[in-house]
Structure formats: C-alpha cells, structure tokens
C-alpha cells in the first residue's frame, strides 16, 4: 500500500513536470530526428556522398571535351560546368569561401600539356581546393582526376605510339570491374549496412535514459528540503521503501522512452526522408539491455541525488556528468570514427556499455545472450550506485532529523 502510493505520487509529480517531460521525451526524439536526417549520407556507405566541384573547360580541343565527359562519370563527385569566360579569380573566391570544395580548370592548351605531362611541361589542369576540405576528400578527388588524366594520356599519346591499340582499349585502359568490399557480420548473418538512424536511436536513447538524473534528483532535493522525507519517515516509511519507490516509476519511464524512441526511428524518421530503423532480431535482448541501462541510470541518478545539497547542484552536477558520460560513451561522436586510443577510453563510460548493448541487438544481429556482458556490467554499476545512494540517504535522513 505504502509502496504503490509512493509510486503513484511519483508518476503524478513527474507527469506534471513539463520541463522534466521535455528533457526525457522530446529532447531525445528531436536529437534522433536531427542526427538521423543530418548524418544520413555520412553514415550510409551504400548511398555515395556526392561532392560538387566547379569545372571550367577553356580548351576548344576534343580532349578537353573528353576530359569533361570522363569527370562526369567519377563516383562521389559531381561536375558543375562553369562558362569559360568566368574569371579565375571568381572561381578562387567561390572555393575560398567554401561554396565549392574544388574547382578544376582546364587550360586552352590542355592537349599539349597532357601530352608532355610528367616532363618539363606545366600541369595539364589546375585544381583549386577549399581550406575546409577533408583530407580524405582531397585524396579521393586527386586520385579520380589523376586516373582520368592518365587514362586520356595513355589512350591518346602513349599507346598509339607503341602500336598497342590493337589489344583493345578496354583491356588496356579500364579495370574490368570495381573492387567491392564486403561487410562482415557476427555469425555470418546477412544484414543491411549500419545507418545514421541505427546509430542515433541507441545513442540518444541511452543519453535520455541517463537524463532521469535531472527530474529525479531535483524532486528528491525538494522532498529533502521541504521536510517531506521526514514526514514520510514519521509515517513509518523505511528508507528502503523510499528508494525502491523511486526506482520503479523511473524504470517505467525509461521503458516508455525506449518504446517511443524505437518507434521514432522505425516510423517517424523514414517519413521525413531518413532511413528506417530495422527492428531488433531479439526483442528479449532489447528488453534486457534496456532494463540494465535503466537500472544503471536510476542508480546513478539516486547517487547524484544523495550527494548534492541543493537543486542547483543537482541540475549542474547531474547535467554535466551526463554530458561527459555521453561524450565519453560514444553518444555524441560515434565510437567507430574515434581513433583507437579513444575507443579504449570510452569503455569506461556506462553509457558506452548501454550503447554497445543496443548496437548488438540493432546492428549486429545479437541474440539476447550476446548482450549479457554489457547488461551485467550495467547492472553491477547500477547496484553499486544504489548501494552508495542507500548509505548516503540514510546518513542524510539522520542529518535532516
């Protein structure tokens, strides 16, 4: 009776805490939408990123036109033709201001330059690059341009002089096919490629689950400061009942968060143009990792609640520690883009354990047994926090009295 009255009260209070609801439900949903849509192409290896570049052809020769045609076939880049009359300074300005990442200028004597390329002659084309261009993009663009120029040079000047044209151009100049890599999944399960939504939903879900620290600790502090806890103690409510009555409603809140965020990923993100979140192979695994993450988050929140002495401290310490754990845990920056040493560092964050557990079930085809290590670590962390919170709580109650 006492327990359920406390749980019901907690849910009523939380239900009327507009700011708490915004933090717990709206914030992660918005993050998932933004990140899933904004990072859609960056995460999806099947959907090639297309970088526009300016192409100004000042050559009236056939080779100049051929170069333009060849460059239009390059995967990952899209040529934006520029009239030959446009001044080079204007092209430089556009690139310098990062309106385009690259500009490729084909000079009027392109054919002659290409013929002598490699010798004393000037470069056959001029490439301008934005200072903001990523090194990987620069390398890819240079390889693509070099490959095209070499092909034209061999085709038009080298092979004819060696009498090799009878072999056929395809055999001499073009690769038979592009080399394609293969994604490897656990147990050989055939899976689609990881998408932005499959990274965003677990990441922001874990982050949101840990954000129960804000409403929970604030409410707890108010109860401590306003004498509600003392009053409840005088009504024969034990500290253990008080603690457990906090765990139960926030566990429910975390599970509602999980259902809503998964639904956002599965149904809302695709409606807005993003990729859909694939349902997990193991719903039991999802529940297991979700429950373990929830208990870790609640334990952490209760520990913060008992450590702090004011609502301002609770908001500051809870918020800052959550953001640090999130940054460390691969929520804000995906773990797979981090350098190796950082990937090792992030494993200290419980958010990382939760995230890996969710990625197991959403991306790697993990069965429920495969999330047990992460779930176990989270449960241990949660139990440790809860034990610390209980000890501190009893001391605080005595201090209040």
Partner 1 sequence: MIQIEHLSKVYVRPRHVALRDVSLHIPRGRVFGLLGPNGAGKTTLISILAGILPKSGGRVLVDGLDLDREPARIKSLIGFVPQHLAFYPTLTARENLDFYAGVLGFKGAARRARIDECAAITDLGKHLDRRAGTFSGGLKRRLNFAIGLLNKPALLFLDEPTVGIDPQSRHFILQSLLALKAAGMTIIYTSHYLEEVQQICDELAIIDAGRIVVQGPMVELLDRSGGDSLRFELDAPLDESGLTALSAQLSAPVQRDGPNAFAVSASPEAIERLLAYLRGQGLVLRNLRYGAQDLEQVYLRLTNAGLRE
Q: What are the start-end ranges of the H helices in 174-329?
A: 196-210, 213-225, 228-234, 239-263, 269-271, 283-307, 311-328
Stretch of 5-13, 32-40, 131-139, 362-370 lying at the interface with partner 1 (CB under 8 A): 5-13
Instruction: Give me the least distance between CB of 220 and partner 1, in Å please.
Output: 13
Q: 236-275 mask for partner 1 (x: CB under 8 A)?
A: xx--------------------------------------
159: Cα separation from own chain's centroid:
48
Residue list 11-50, contact with partner 1 (CB under 8 A):
12-13, 16-17
155 binds partner 1 (CB under 8 A): no
Instruction: Give me the least distance between CB of 219 and partner 1, in Å please.
Output: 9
# binding residues, partner 1 (CB under 8 A): 26
* Token duo for residue 82: 């520029």
Closer CB to partner 1, 223 or 356, in the complex? 223
Half-sphere exposure of 331 (CA within 13 A, CB side): 27
Q: Which of 47, 93, 231, 309 binds partner 1 (CB under 8 A)?
A: 231
4 binds partner 1 (CB under 8 A): yes
Instruction: Give me the least distance between CB of 236 and partner 1, in Å please.
Output: 5
398 binds partner 1 (CB under 8 A): yes
Distance CA 36, CA 43 (A): 9
For β-strands 51-57 and 102-106, DSSP reports them as parallel
Instruction: Give me the least distance between CB of 24 and partner 1, in Å please.
Output: 16
Closer CB to partner 1, 97 or 226, in the complex? 226
Closer CB to partner 1, 204 or 393, in the complex? 393
Closer CB to partner 1, 14 or 261, in the complex? 14
Alpha-carbon distances, residue 272 vs 26, 32, 266, 320 (angstroms): 17, 12, 11, 32
Nearest to 320 by CA among 220, 225, 213, 247: 213
Instruction: Give me the least distance between CB of 221 and partner 1, in Å please.
Output: 13
Stretch of 201-209, 225-233, 294-302, 329-337 lying at the interface with partner 1 (CB under 8 A): 225-233
Contact 207, 300 (CB under 8 A): no
Q: Which of 81, 227, 279, 373 binds partner 1 (CB under 8 A)?
A: 227
Q: Which of 98, 99, 226, 344 binds partner 1 (CB under 8 A)?
A: 226
Instruction: Give me the least distance between CB of 11 and partner 1, in Å please.
Output: 11
Buried b (16+ CB within 10 A) or exposed e, 293-329: bbbbbbbbbbbbbbbbeebeebbebbbeebeebbebb
209 binds partner 1 (CB under 8 A): no
9 binds partner 1 (CB under 8 A): yes
Strand partners, 400: none
Instruction: Give me the least distance between CB of 12 and partner 1, in Å please.
Output: 6
Contact 357, 289 (CB under 8 A): yes
Running DSSP on this structure, what letter comes out for residue 165? G
Instruction: Give me the least distance between CB of 229 and partner 1, in Å please.
Output: 8
228 binds partner 1 (CB under 8 A): yes
Distance CA 7, CA 170 (A): 74
Q: At CB < 8 A and 24+ separation, what contacts does 391-396 make?
A: 392/303, 392/306, 392/307, 393/239, 393/242, 393/243, 393/302, 393/306, 394/239, 396/224, 396/306
Max Cα distance, the chain (Å): 103
Closer CB to partner 1, 33 or 314, in the complex? 314
Q: Which of 1, 85, 162, 176 binds partner 1 (CB under 8 A)?
A: 1
* Token duo for residue 378: 């989270």
Contact residues: partner 1, CB under 8 A: 1-2, 4-6, 8-9, 12-13, 16-17, 225-228, 230-237, 397-398, 401
């Amino acid at each position: 009776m006492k327990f359920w009255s406390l749980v019901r009260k907690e849910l009523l209070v939380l239900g009327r805490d507009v700011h708490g609801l915004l933090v717990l439900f709206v914030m992660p949903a918005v993050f998932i939408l933004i990140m899933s849509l904004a990072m859609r192409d960056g995460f999806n290896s099947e959907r090639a990123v297309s970088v526009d570049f300016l192409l100004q052809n000042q050559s009236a020769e056939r080779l100049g036109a051929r170069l333009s045609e060849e460059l239009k076939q390059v995967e990952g880049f899209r040529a934006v033709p520029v009239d030959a009359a446009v001044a080079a300074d204007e092209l430089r300005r556009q690139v310098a201001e990062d309106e385009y990442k690259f500009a490729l200028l084909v000079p009027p004597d392109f054919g002659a330059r290409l013929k002598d390329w490699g010798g004393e002659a000037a470069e056959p084309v001029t490439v301008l690059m934005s200072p903001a261009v990523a090194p990987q993009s620069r390398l890819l663009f240079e390889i693509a341009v070099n490959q095209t120029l070499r092909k034209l040079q061999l085709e038009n000047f080298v092979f004819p002089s060696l009498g090799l044209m009878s072999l056929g151009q395809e055999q001499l100049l073009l690769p038979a096919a592009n080399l394609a890599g293969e994604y490897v999944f656990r147990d050989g399960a055939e899976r689609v490629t990881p998408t932005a939504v499959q990274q965003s939903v677990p990441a922001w879900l874990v982050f949101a689950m840990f954000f129960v620290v804000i409403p929970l600790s604030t409410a707890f502090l108010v109860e401590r400061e306003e004498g509600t806890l003392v009053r409840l103690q005088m009504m024969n409510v034990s500290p253990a009942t008080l603690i457990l009555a906090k765990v139960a409603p926030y566990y429910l809140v975390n599970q509602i968060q999980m259902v809503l965020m998964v639904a956002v990923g599965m149904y809302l993100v695709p409606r807005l143009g993003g990729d859909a979140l694939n349902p997990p192979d193991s719903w039991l695994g999802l529940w297991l990792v979700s429950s373990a993450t929830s208990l870790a988050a609640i334990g952490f929140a209760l520990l913060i609640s008992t450590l702090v002495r004011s609502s301002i401290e609770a908001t500051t310490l809870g918020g800052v520690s959550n953001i640090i754990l999130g940054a460390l845990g691969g929520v804000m920056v995906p773990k797979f883009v981090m350098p190796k040493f950082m990937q090792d560092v992030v494993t200290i964050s419980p958010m990382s354990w939760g995230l890996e557990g969710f990625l197991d079930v959403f991306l790697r085809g993990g069965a429920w047994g495969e999330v047990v290590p992460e779930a176990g670590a989270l449960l241990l962390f949660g139990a440790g926090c809860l034990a610390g919170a209980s000890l501190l709580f009893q001391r605080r109650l005595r201090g209040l009295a």
